Structure 1
Amino acid sequence: MNATEPRRRWWPRSVRARAALAAASAAAVILVGIGCWVHHDVYRQSTQIAEDQAKAQLWSLCDQLRQGVVPDTTNTVPYEVVATDRRGAVAYGGGMADFDPGTHHVMPAPPKARQVELITTVRLPANPDYDPSDKLSVSGGTHQVVTADIWADDLTSAKAAALGVAADADLRVYVLVLPNTAEAITSTTDGLLLRAGLVGLVLIAAAAYFTVRIALRPVEAIRALTASVTASDPRERVTVPATGHEITALATTINTTLQRLDDAAARQRRFVADAAHELRSPLTTLLASLEVALAYPERTDWPATATTAARQTRRLHSLAEDLLLLARLDTRAPAADPETVDLTALASRLAEQYPLTERPLTLTCDSTAPAYARGNPDAYERLLRNLIDNAARHAAHRIQITVRNQDAWVVLTVHDDGPGVPTEDAERIFERFVRLDDARSRDRGGTGLGLAIARDLAHRHRGTLTLAPRTLGACFELRVPRASAPDEE
């Protein structure tokens, strides 16, 4: 493989295949756990069945011996009866003949201590005729047996003679617990579990695959539709399923996002149209005045023409700066490291330095207590200057700036004694390129971006800018989080 080629991953890329693989893996773990539990439980119960079978055979043999009857050698469970007189095996069957005991016995001689019933282990010699395919055939080695004793007191002389033992001999009956019974049942169960588990895994993986495939059909429809959406025309909407599950929430969210894109595109188109209109007005005025001056140079008042050109050029410069600032604000670029700004000192300085040459206005700042806020000093100055510029265009005689600390906020107000703002236009004046009817004059109306920029700067500093209700004039209220004094930090 080429070193520049991406390394291929072994796991599937498709969500359907991944879901099927995950479901099959989880099911495999669960099935293995269940299989182990079933295996041990079946083996335990099968062993118990083998022990119960041996016990039943044991008591059947004991009943026959107490009646003086030699048991039939065709019994299915291997057994042997041994007497204390050591004459040999009284009786045996179920494959014990394969050990060729003859007149001797394979099982140990019974001890003198008597017992009713006992489950123990014995060690058998090697069986030369052992056949693994025969369930009754027993190999040598250690095996589990159940035993019971028949005492001489339970036998009459005639019964003892019929059994071929001495009158005072005790008998011990050994019945072998077949080891192959539990193993055979468990092996059969394991085979069934394995086949059922494999089939179950395939069915679970297929069910998960097709279930996810059906569930993702609305997602594919949403993907295909959103792929056709463009930034300039995001008017498409996806179909919201009526199921109420996560796909419904996804479709609703995508429609909300598309609506925001549509609104943003509409605002952008309106902004471009308004900006073109605002740029065209001073350019038209500037071009017209220059063309008239050039057409009639001998009758042109060149100082007046230069003054007009300079005024329109300043308007173009101001508009260009405002547009660039709005573009930076719209990008939501991270601000520089914030500083602690004294808004009272800033307002007092602007009140002293603000030029009021065109009309006789009084600009005062009646606050003296420091009011600290965190942010960019240039941004705060631009915000306050825009508010003062707006007030200066509409004030009749007086502009008043007030700064005060109010709990966790710094509240700054700029109040003018002009005609005020109608209640229905209290929010519209903060939109871009919006001027009210009495401010339509391009000479005095500004660019229509000052209040919009001021509100954006307030929001950027986690504050608010609103029009406070007043009976006379307009009062703009800025609220920003209060900060600690520099010497307290």
Structure 2
Amino acid sequence: MNATEPRRRWWPRSVRARAALAAASTAAVLLFGIGWWVHHDVHRQSTQIAEETARVHLESLCEQLRQGVVPVPTSPIPYEVVATGRRTAVASGGALSTAYPKTHHVMPAPPVGTAALMPVTTVRIPVNRDYNPREKFDIAGGTQRVITADIGPDELRGGKAAALGVAADARLRVYVVVLPYTAEANTKITDRLLLLAGLVSLALIFAVTYFAVRIALRPVEAIRALTASVTASDPRERVTVPAATGHEITALATTINTTLQRLDNAAAQQRRFVADAAHELRSPLTTLLASLEVALAYPERTDWPATATTAARQTRRLQALAEDLLLLARLDTRIPTADPETVDLTALASRLTEQYPLTERPLTLTCDSTAPAHVHGNPDEYERLLRNLIDNAARHAAHRIQITIRNQDAWVILTVHDDGPGVPTEDAERIFERFVRLDDARSRDHGGTGLGLAIARDLAHRHRGTLTLTPRTLGACFRLRLPQAPAPAEK
């Protein structure tokens, strides 16, 4: 494989295949744990049944021996009766009588002691070379689980010992082999059934999960296909919202529709902005071009100083409009303010009040403040914000403009109030839109471009503040609210 080629991953990439594989893997772990528990429980219960069967057979043999009767093999279960002092077995049956025909006895002789019922134990016997694993009552030899019981001399009095062919003081030990065939067979059958059921269950779980996720993702695929067809120039498509409430797909579709609506609104706003900007630029350009063409056509009859004055005025208007558009473009990018500083709005407003030119008509511009008002941000942007508010007030004021600054809790409140005609209540928010001029400000030479208040509000938001129009009975009052900053430490 080429070193530049990406290494292929073994796991599937689709969500439905991954979900199905995860569900099947989880089910496999659970099924393995259940199967392991069932395997051991079946083996334990089957072994208990085999031990109980051997114990019943042991009690039957002991009862016959206590009566002085040599047991006759009536059951294929292997058993052997061994006596002390005797070289051959008193009795044997099952595989113990056929597997070792040349052996005197296979089981060990009982030790001298008190007769007592012994628990299940293990003994080691010779290996059965003729062992047939298909025969469930055959034994393989080696270590075998047995259940035993001892019969003492006291239980063999009255000629019973002689009838059994043992000495009067002999002790008998009865061995019954606990055959493992039943437990092993039951366990193997159970294991095969568990394996088959587990494989079938895993296949069903994988298939059901795969197709369930596939069906659940169909709305997502439909949303993806429709969203892929949406473009920035025409985001009018909408996805179908499922009827089920509280569903994740419903939330996804609703969110995508909301996003598409915002994209549509942004595209419409951008188109409107471009159209308004083109319209605003075309007006001074048309005036400038017309005046120059007339002057060039009739140079001897042209008032060149007036023409130059008109051209300069329109050029300044174009320059101001271009600067406003560039500032709006920068504000729309939402780039954080570079090198923010602590600014005293009181000092800034007082300086603008003193320097603001009021030459066109007599106006009184005052600044009322009781203390320094510190805010955090860019000094140039704050100056542009206040200048826009003062310019707007100066265009509409009749005689007076008043700026008031107060510190209120953790905020700085600045108001710019003029005694002009005011703003209708229904236009209180519309005046902050771009290129919006009310009827009283339709003059393009004196009414501005309609961007001043829009820029002022964007600058307020940029500094985590708000700019609103406060209802007043006389004139317009703009209220700027900014977070208060701690006063800078004195050097």
Task: Report if TM-score (shorter chain) is over 0.5.
Answer: yes
Q: CA deviation at 1:262?
A: 1.0
- 1:51-450 to structure 2, matched below 5 A, reads 51-97=51-97, 98-100=99-101, 102-244=103-245, 245-450=247-452
- The one-letter amino acid paired with 1:424 is E
Contact 2:107 2:175 in 1 (8 A): no
Give the whole-Å Cα distance in 2 for the aligned partners of 1:370 and 1:47: 95
- The one-letter amino acid paired with 1:18 is R
Give the whole-Å Cα distance in 1 for the aligned partners of 2:151 and 2:401: 125
Q: Give SS of 2:61's match.
A: helix
Q: CA deviation at 1:212?
A: 0.9
Q: Deviations over 1:198-230 (max 9, x none)?
A: 222111111111111111111111111111111
Matched residue count: 489
Q: CA deviation at 1:325?
A: 1.0
Give the whole-Å Cα distance in 2 for the aligned partners of 1:397 and 1:282: 30
Contact 2:107 2:123 in 1 (8 A): no
Q: Give SS of 2:127's match.
A: coil
Aligned residue among 429, 444, 457 for 2:459:
457
Contact 2:112 2:171 in 1 (8 A): no
Q: Give SS of 1:96's match.
A: helix
- Cα 1:345–1:163 shift into 2, 3 Å: same
- The one-letter amino acid paired with 1:2 is N
- The one-letter amino acid paired with 1:7 is R
Report percent identity of matched pairs.
80
Contact 2:410 2:483 in 1 (8 A): yes
- The one-letter amino acid paired with 2:400 is R
Give the whole-Å Cα distance in 1 for the aligned partners of 2:429 and 2:143: 98
Q: CA deviation at 1:476?
A: 0.6
Q: CA deviation at 1:110?
A: 4.2
- The one-letter amino acid paired with 1:53 is T
Q: CA deviation at 1:105?
A: 4.7
Contact 2:110 2:171 in 1 (8 A): no
Give the whole-Å Cα distance in 2 for the aligned partners of 1:343 and 1:88: 121
Q: Give SS of 1:175's match.
A: strand
Q: CA deviation at 1:55?
A: 1.3
RMSD: 2.0
Q: Give SS of 1:99's match.
A: coil
- Tell which deviates more after alignment, 369-378 or 329-338: 329-338
Contact 2:127 2:141 in 1 (8 A): yes
Asked if residue 43 in structure 1 is aligned to residue 43 in structure 2, the reply is yes
- The one-letter amino acid paired with 1:138 is I
Q: Deviations over 1:382-419 (max 9, x none)?
A: 11111111111111122111111111111111111111
Give the whole-Å Cα distance in 1 for the aligned partners of 2:276 and 2:179: 99
Contact 2:414 2:480 in 1 (8 A): yes
- The one-letter amino acid paired with 2:467 is L
Contact 1:110 1:171 in 2 (8 A): no
Q: Give SS of 2:286's match.
A: helix
- Cα 1:78–1:104 shift into 2, 3 Å: closer
Give the whole-Å Cα distance in 1 for the aligned partners of 2:466 and 2:95: 100
Q: CA deviation at 1:149?
A: 2.4
- Tell which deviates more after alignment, 399-408 or 432-441: 399-408
Give the whole-Å Cα distance in 1 for the aligned partners of 2:222 and 2:2: 37
Contact 1:42 1:185 in 2 (8 A): yes
Q: Give SS of 1:145's match.
A: strand
Contact 1:87 1:165 in 2 (8 A): no
Give the whole-Å Cα distance in 1 for the aligned partners of 2:285 and 2:105: 131
Q: CA deviation at 1:102?
A: 4.4
Q: Give SS of 1:478's match.
A: strand
Contact 2:106 2:126 in 1 (8 A): no
Give the whole-Å Cα distance in 1 for the aligned partners of 2:58 and 2:102: 20
Q: Give SS of 1:366's match.
A: strand
Structure 1 portions without partners, runs of 5+? none
